[in-house]
Amino acid sequence: MALSVEHFGRTYAAATGTLTAVEDLSFSVASGEIVGLIGPNGAGKTTTLRSLAGILRPTSGRVSIDGHDIIEDPLEAKRRLAFMPDEPHLFEYLTVTEHLRLVARLYGVADVDSRAAALVDELELKGKEGSLPGELSRGMRQKVVIACGLVRRATTLLFDEPLTGLDPIGIRRMRNTIVARAHAGAAILLSSHLLHLVEEVCSRVIIMDRGRKVADGTFEELASRADLATAGSSLEQIFLRVTGHDAVR
């Protein structure tokens, strides 16, 4: 498995004591697979993605990328990983091209020029190569973050709300980009509140609620689950049922 998560948990120290953000989460993503990670606000999705990316340390459990543990062997694990966060964190003094060069240097991408040129085309960043992040719109900055993630040959891609700030054309192109990367053999974990996107591109979905996994499977598997059989066939109906919000109309 490209991405393997076993009994992962993460707690935070809060004013009222210890807050459990994620508890006993296990799943895996195979090469070429696109798995959707969905859940209501505060379900623990971003905590999970940040822990998988090595930003937060898991309090318990094990996370491995291509067999490399993110804690025991972080350099090898991170080398195979690309994390595209929902908030575009960029260096305000580096241009688009310079961001790509910096990332390429840190990940050892020798053919950065050709790869960067292709990505600039693919993500419609043409003409913005020499711009600073402060001169770009929110959507453009999101594209730069994604370009930085794709400029190296990562085997596992983590997307956290990748479509935030994109226009309809950008959304369509980004969807195609994600699918193309999966076809090329990457394992993709995609977190989004846009259930139609998840339904469209993901082959499997994991639903989280209050830090726990409440459902995991293909749409057919979920729809045929005994407790969800009456929920309906759409992902939205299934989501509302498993999170206990199906009374909401």
Binding site for other proteins (CB under 8 A): 12, 15, 50, 53-57, 74-79, 81, 83, 85, 89, 91-95, 98, 101-102, 104-113, 130-135
Cβ closest to other proteins, residue 2 vs residue 77 = 77
Residues 186 and 31: beta-carbon distance below 8 Å: yes
Give every CB contact of residue 28 below 8 A, 6+ residues apart in sequence: 1, 3, 4, 5
Q: Compute the least distance from the CB of residue 209 to other proteins, in Å.
A: 22
Q: What are the tokens at 202?
A: 């993901």
Q: What is the dihedral of CA 99, 38, 170, 185, to 10 degrees?
A: 70
CB of 98 to other proteins, least distance (A): 7
Nearer to other proteins, 46 or 177 (CB): 46
- The CB-of-125 to other proteins minimum distance in angstroms stands at 15
Taking the complex as a whole, how short is the minimal distance between the CB of residue 45 and other proteins, in angstroms?
A: 16
User: Which one, 115 or 241, has the nearer CB to other proteins?
Assistant: 115
Nearer to other proteins, 51 or 243 (CB): 51
Pick 9 or 54: Cβ nearer other proteins: 54
- Could you tell me the smallest distance in angstroms from the CB atom of residue 40 to other proteins? 22
Q: Are 218 and 204 in contact (CB under 8 A)?
A: yes
Closer to other proteins by CB, 113 or 221: give it.
113
Q: Please, which residue, 76 or 199, has the CB nearer to other proteins? A: 76
Give the integer Cα–Cα distance in Å for 54 and 203: 25
Place of tokens 């830090």: 211
Question: Whole-number minimum distance, CB 53 to other proteins, in Å?
Answer: 5
- Give least dist CB 200 to other proteins, A: 27
